[in-house]
């Protein structure tokens, strides 16, 4: 433990990453305070009694039920802290495209309130670690035969309606080659969620140094593992597919199933985040956190069906959501070099651990169709 950093506040600390981080920090001797609103979307109707995520930290941390949109809740939570790990956020990419004010209020305004307090009131904060996101990159980094490195804009209905889901770039007639996205890659989010994460990161990285506070930003890829909410139909593809499988429902895979993501196991994410808290080398810098491996959504569905041993249909639907990216996976060169981080859990190992945990949980209602209807009614799902 860093001798000067003993008291840590985790906003969103009853969430998936936050609760896992809190438990690990407690084992390392830190005193942990959690500020969390216990959102129904993540924790269910009666979170105090039934949320596994909340139960995992209950009576182990100092818990403040509150919201980052409240200055009073922030002031109460910040008092006496050395480090803020800012995880509290609305996180659904698709949902962000129609619940715009909510995403801006929580993600941007909530962060602004925190920074306003740090800029204008006495406190003991020495470091702020923020959960940024791979979504700020929009589409990933590509190599073009004609133009070298390119960063395609988000895809349009014109091509996807015709069943062509790959990204396009002006002047490139040959297919683009996907390469790992590094921290110097172009920032051009394709969803409101991505815009809010970009804003969070930039505000913290810009304001904190002027206050003598060390900022650290982690651009997390798709985090998964035991403990993630099985109730939330808006985010977390492994959870969504698992709930469908456990209900005996078919899995409907968007596009042609070849869209890819970088899936990183929760323990690896927690390890990287602790390095950011403890290592001085992390100060004033930002890092990708992922597995560095690109995995297709169809492969995810097939791996889950295999692990659950349930013979449900996997339908390649050709449907798509506006705002979704096609591909993105992390270049980990920087975090390996500066923080000596190395992901330890392969996707196959992680899926096994995840599905074994899901098998111990109650089967949740499959509400995914409802979330799709919400998008369809707004013209965002085709």
Give dist(CA 239, CA 229) in Å, integer. 7
Q: How confident is the model at residue 364 (pLDDT cuts 50, 70, 90)?
A: confident
The Cα 244–Cα 44 span in angstroms is 18
pLDDT of residue 48: 78
Q: Are 83 and 8 in contact (CB under 8 A)?
A: yes
- Cα separation, 89 vs 130, in Å, equals 11
- The predicted pLDDT at position 253 comes to 94
Domains plus CATH for the chain?
7-377 (3.40.50.720)
User: Taking 90 as the threshold, does the pLDDT of residue 126 lie above it?
Assistant: yes
What confidence score (pLDDT) does residue 373 get? Answer: 84
* CA distance readout (Å), 287 to 133, 143, 183, 270, 281: 10, 22, 7, 14, 12
Cα separation, 373 vs 98, in Å, equals 12
Half-sphere exposure of 281 (CA within 13 A, CB side): 13
- Determine which of 49-58, 252-261, 286-295 has the lowest per-residue pLDDT on average: 49-58
What is the pLDDT at residue 70?
A: 98
| Predicted confidence (pLDDT) per residue in 80-97, tens digit | 999 999 999 998 888 899
| 106 close to 41: Cβ distance less than 8 angstroms | no
108-129 average pLDDT score: 98
Supply the pLDDT for residue 44. 74
Report d(CA 81, CA 64) in Å as an integer.
14
**Half-sphere exposure of residue 19: CA atoms within 13 angstroms, side-chain side:** 21
Poorest-pLDDT segment among 12-16, 95-99, 313-317, 363-367: 363-367
pTM, two decimal places: 0.94
Provide the percentage of residues in the chain whose pLDDT is more than 70. 99
Residues 73 and 64 sit within 8 Å (Cβ to Cβ): yes
Range with lowest mean pLDDT among 4-8, 35-39, 143-147, 375-379? 375-379
Does 3 have pLDDT greater than 60? no
pLDDT tens column, 164-222: 999 999 999 999 999 999 999 999 998 999 999 999 999 999 999 999 999 999 999 99
Task: Provide the pLDDT for residue 1.
Answer: 43
For 265, the token pair is 């196991």
In the predicted model, what is the mean pLDDT of residues 265-279?
A: 98
Higher pLDDT, 289 or 44: 289
In eight-state DSSP terms, residue 270 is H
Residue written as tokens 């698992």?
242
| Predicted pLDDT of residue 68 | 98
Check pLDDT > 60 for residue 26.
yes
Distance CA 183, CA 196 (A): 18
Q: CA 368, 231, 262 angle in degrees (round to 5)?
A: 75
Helix axes 71-78, 110-120, angle to 10 degrees: 60
CA separation (Å) from 354 to 211, 227, 249, 266, 307?
41, 8, 19, 10, 10
Largest Cα–Cα distance in the chain? Answer: 60
Q: How far apart are CA 52 and CA 14, in angstroms?
A: 9
């Amino acid at each position: 433990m860093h001798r000067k950093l003993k008291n840590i506040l985790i906003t969103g600390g009853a969430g998936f990453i936050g609760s896992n981080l809190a438990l690990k920090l407690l084992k390392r001797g830190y005193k942990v305070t959690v500020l969390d609103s216990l959102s129904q979307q993540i924790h269910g109707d009666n979170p105090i009694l039934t949320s596994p995520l909340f139960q995992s930290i209950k009576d182990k941390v100092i818990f403040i039920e509150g919201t980052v949109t409240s200055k009073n809740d922030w002031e109460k939570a910040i008092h006496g802290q050395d480090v803020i790990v800012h995880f509290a956020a609305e996180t659904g990419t698709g949902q962000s495209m129609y619940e715009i004010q909510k995403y801006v209020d929580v993600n941007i305004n909530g962060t602004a309130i925190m920074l306003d307090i740090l800029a204008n009131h006495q406190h003991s904060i020495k470091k702020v670690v923020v959960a940024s996101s791979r979504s700020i990159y929009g589409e990933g980094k590509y190599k073009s035969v004609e133009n070298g490195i390119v960063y395609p804009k988000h895809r349009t209905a014109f091509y996807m309606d015709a069943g062509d889901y790959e990204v396009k770039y002006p002047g490139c007639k040959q297919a683009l080659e996907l390469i790992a996205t590094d921290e110097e890659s172009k920032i051009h989010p394709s969803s409101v969620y991505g815009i809010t994460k970009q804003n969070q990161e930039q505000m913290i990285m810009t304001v904190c140094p002027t206050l003598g506070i060390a900022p650290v930003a982690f651009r997390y890829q798709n985090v998964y593992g035991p403990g993630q909410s099985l109730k939330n139909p808006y985010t977390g593809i492994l959870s969504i597919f698992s709930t469908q499988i456990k209900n005996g429902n078919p899995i409907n895979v968007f596009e042609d199933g070849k869209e890819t993501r970088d899936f990183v196991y929760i323990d690896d994410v927690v390890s990287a985040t602790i390095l950011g808290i403890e290592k001085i080398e992390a100060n004033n810098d930002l890092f990708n956190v992922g597995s560095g491996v690109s995995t297709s959504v169809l492969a995810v569905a097939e791996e889950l069906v295999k692990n659950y041993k349930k013979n449900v249909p996997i339908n390649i639907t050709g449907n798509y959501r506006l705002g979704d990216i096609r591909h993105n996976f992390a270049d980990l060169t920087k975090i390996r070099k500066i923080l000596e981080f190395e992901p330890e859990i392969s996707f196959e190992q992680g899926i096994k651990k995840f599905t074994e945990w899901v098998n111990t949980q109650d089967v949740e209602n499959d509400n995914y169709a409802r979330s799709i209807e919400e998008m369809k009614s707004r013209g965002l799902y085709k």
